[in-house]
Amino acid sequence: MSTKQVVVAGGGGFIGGHLVRDLVSQGHRVYVADVKPIDAWWQVFDEATNYPGTDVGDVGRATTLIPEGADEVYNLAADMGGMGFIHHNKLDCMLSVLPSTAILQAASRRGVGRFFYSSSACVYPDYRQGDTDVKPLREEDAYPAMPEDGYGWEKLFTERMCRHFLEDAGLQTRVARYHNVYGPHGTWTGGREKAPAALCRKIATAVLTGAPSIEIWGDGEATRTFMYVDDCVQGTQMIARAPHPEPVNLGSEELVSINTLATLIEQIAGVQLEHVHVPGPQGVRGRSSDNTVISERYGWAPSIKLVEGLEKTYTWVHDEVKAGVGG
């Protein structure tokens, strides 16, 4: 593989950090920007050119970060988190449209070869996700539109921006709709964590403190599919470099309830805990990825089963919790 010039916006975040690691390992020249200070990045690589504390919501600033004729730009910059965060921070989620638009404009000005946008399964309408035994979501199901309020609307709007930058400006945009990405080296506490990391933290804390129970929002019967971050990184680059511009699902088809997810992690941890159900944001009742398009078009399927990914994630989160409690 020839060496590429690659820009990763949001590279200090969870998925961005894993993506940068893989791009660096391939020998590419990688430029990484993130609004957070570098000590708040999940992973830092000296082989990359790092721009911490950089607000890419300004077109001029974003343009200076992108080398002329760069091969690829990956936009993962967004103010987001798990259901608890996006439920209570709709305005902040919507404002992610500013860096998304600025980076698109900057990439177009710089004559970038490929522009990848990380969209989300939150673009799918609530009216298709009302049952736990949900019908897997197909790409065409995004319309008529009624996405997740705040976060989902921003994602769907930016998908349309990508489409029009392709049609009107000739920028080769590619879009993947991520379905619940999880793994180590990401947020596991503080309010932005997603369900797998939150449950790993709760169960690890119970193991380390001897607590007999954990709390779960709602009845725990809501269903989701979860994709391990290594599969996400591989699929992201595959989609970015492919000839097809239409948005495509990038996720797993292993549908589980939140209660089942907790039980799987407990089995990994070697404990059996009481589940105390408490009020809290739950999102849609069921969400699953239909992988027909990505399978037929690319021959792609996730390589890491849920239990395998959870083992890796729990081990990492357990060590983080143990360090925090002084164990």
Q: Do 162 and 196 sit in the same domain of this protein?
A: no
Q: Is residue 57, in this structure, part of any structural domain at all?
A: yes
Q: Do 146 and 193 sit in the same domain of this protein?
A: no
Q: Where do the H-state alpha helices sit in 225-301?
A: 229-240, 258-269, 292-298
Q: Do 212 and 239 sit in the same domain of this protein?
A: no
* Domain total of the chain: 2
The sheet carrying 5-9 orders its strands as 49-52, 29-34, 5-9, 72-75, 114-120, 173-178, 248-250
- How many Cα atoms sit within 13 Å of 175 on the Cβ side? 25
Q: Is residue 296, in this structure, part of any structural domain at all?
A: no
Closest CA to 156 of 55, 247, 88, 230: 247
Amino acid 326: pLDDT:
47
Q: Do 233 and 283 sit in the same domain of this protein?
A: no
CATH code of the domain containing 279: 3.90.25.10
Alpha-carbon torsion 112, 78, 290, 161, what sign?
A: negative
Q: Do 199 and 234 sit in the same domain of this protein?
A: no
Q: Where do the H-state alpha helices sit in 52-175?
A: 59-65, 83-88, 90-94, 97-109, 151-169
Q: Is residue 51, in this structure, part of any structural domain at all?
A: yes
Amino acid 230: pLDDT:
98
pLDDT per 10-residue tile (average), the chain, 327 residues:
92 98 98 97 98 92 95 95 90 95 97 98 96 96 96 97 98 98 97 96 97 97 98 98 97 97 98 96 94 96 98 98 75
Q: Do 116 and 233 sit in the same domain of this protein?
A: yes
pTM score above 0.85: yes
Q: Do 240 and 219 sit in the same domain of this protein?
A: no
Q: Do 139 and 215 sit in the same domain of this protein?
A: no
Q: Is residue 298, in this structure, part of any structural domain at all?
A: no
Q: Is residue 136, in this structure, part of any structural domain at all?
A: yes
Q: Known catalytic residues?
A: 151
Q: Do 190 and 127 sit in the same domain of this protein?
A: no
Q: Is residue 299, in this structure, part of any structural domain at all?
A: no
CATH code of the domain containing 54: 3.40.50.720
Amino acid 1: pLDDT:
60
Q: Is residue 295, in this structure, part of any structural domain at all?
A: no
In DSSP terms, 5 is beta-bridged to 29
Q: Is residue 297, in this structure, part of any structural domain at all?
A: no
Q: Do 90 and 141 sit in the same domain of this protein?
A: yes
Range of the structural domain that residue 104 is part of: 5-181+227-250
Q: Do 87 and 213 sit in the same domain of this protein?
A: no
Record the tokens describing residue 128, joined without a space. Answer: 């298709």
Q: Do 69 and 141 sit in the same domain of this protein?
A: yes
